[in-house]
A = this chain, B = another copy of it.
């Protein structure tokens, strides 16, 4: 069965190959104090989808690594060999149907795991996990990228799903995660898991949700776990009708669960927000101060997923719903279930991709690094209509103390991906280090990885790792220092 994949040839096209490079080409010099591995997850469809209206979120997961040491860089990329990959590999064609609707898959594979492992790479307890929120993590060898398999934490993790955005507490070394639809598709079961530094499950709590809704990211403080719903909803009826898992419910409230880390399931508290607070897809940081919980995150007032329709099947224009950076303050002693909202930054709309110096997770912090859509930056005429150049053309360092922004701009035909922060050393002050980010050079149709001094954006890229080909579009990344993950 020969594959014949029609695609547009741009950066959104699948890469479809796995590669390695020993000694990447580098323009500039990589600082000697950078030693570690930059992982990237990608969604890279191997076969044409069975349904034209399927979402890229349903593409095969791939994992890339850039290993940096002594100024050298080695690269490797691999597909994650999920059960789905293996089944389609054996058939030499697509068998799996619409996103999160196994009823649309070939009957031969409806009971095979639909896990694509395509969202986030995380290193915990010496293991590399490729995460996808509707499935358990997939363990991958962090040095060879060979797939080990779905990981249930030595049989301890019983949920059928697992967030792609667990949080690692920089003080205790714990990994805190959650699962929604945790007892199967469309179930209203929510679970929270706490793993110790080595990845042993030390605590689990199970809840019921007021709404079965996409819950993509979370945030933690030293005392609390915060879990927002979005207004993306699903139902058995949708799946029976052969539809995509998600639809956008314009009228759904936004719920935020707050759970004490040292409490039990009965201590959960659900806050309820407005329809203008619908879309917390990713979070920045949070902290507990007395009876208050302060959370910063990009939030949009409506659905910016272009692939998911409204409940009535029509589509809203995602451009109308670009996130602004907001601060939500929850008062645990208040006698209502709402919260205060402050807009921290809305001069220019932020994308949903934001990262920070993870050593300051759960703590008061100053800097966040946001992927931005800055229309003031020049775009080459040939790429003026290239969405991926226009909407993610800069990284902003945002100073949460002063509101000051500093911009990094990679070029006039360049789209950027979510950055990662690399501390200069384990004990360096907050923000003292580097930003690493993949860049899509549309003029050359090749990828680059830029390294920027995080406190000197004006100096531009210190080093550019020049790839001899176009990489797949990144979803999320992870920086594992050599101290955290020796090699």
Interface residues of A (CB under 8 A from B): 1-5, 15-30, 46-47, 70-73, 75, 79, 89, 92, 463, 468-469
Contacts and interface: CB of A to CB of B under 8 A. Distances in A.
Contact of A89 (B17, B23, B46): B23
A19 B470 CA distance: 13
Contacts of A22: 46, 79, 89
Contact of A17 (B46, B463, B469): B469
Nearest to A71: B2
A19 B18 contact: yes
Given A71-B2, A72-B1, A72-B92, A21 B27 contact: no
Given A2-B26, A72-B1, A17 B19 contact: yes
Q: How many copies does the complex hold?
A: 2
A451 B4 CA distance: 16
Contacts of A47: 23
20 contacts: A1-B71, A2-B25, A2-B26, A2-B28, A2-B71, A3-B23, A3-B24, A5-B25, A15-B468, A16-B21, A16-B25, A17-B19, A17-B75, A17-B469, A18-B19, A18-B21, A19-B20, A22-B46, A22-B79, A70-B92
A73 to B, nearest CB: 8
A20 B17 contact: yes
A16 B1 CA distance: 30
Given A46-B23, A72-B92, A2 B16 contact: no
Given A17-B20, A468-B17, A26 B46 contact: no
Contacts of A21: 16-18
Contacts of A73: 2
Contacts of A70: 1, 92
Contacts of A89: 22-23
A23 B92 contact: yes
A451 to B, nearest CB: 11
Nearest to A48: B25
Contacts of A79: 22
B18 A3 contact: no
Nearest to A76: B18
A71 B469 CA distance: 27
A79 B20 CA distance: 10
A299 to B, nearest CB: 38
Contacts of A17: 19-21, 75, 468-469
Given A15-B468, A92-B72, A468-B17, A25 B1 contact: no
Contacts of A30: 2
A3 B464 CA distance: 11
Contacts of A18: 19-21
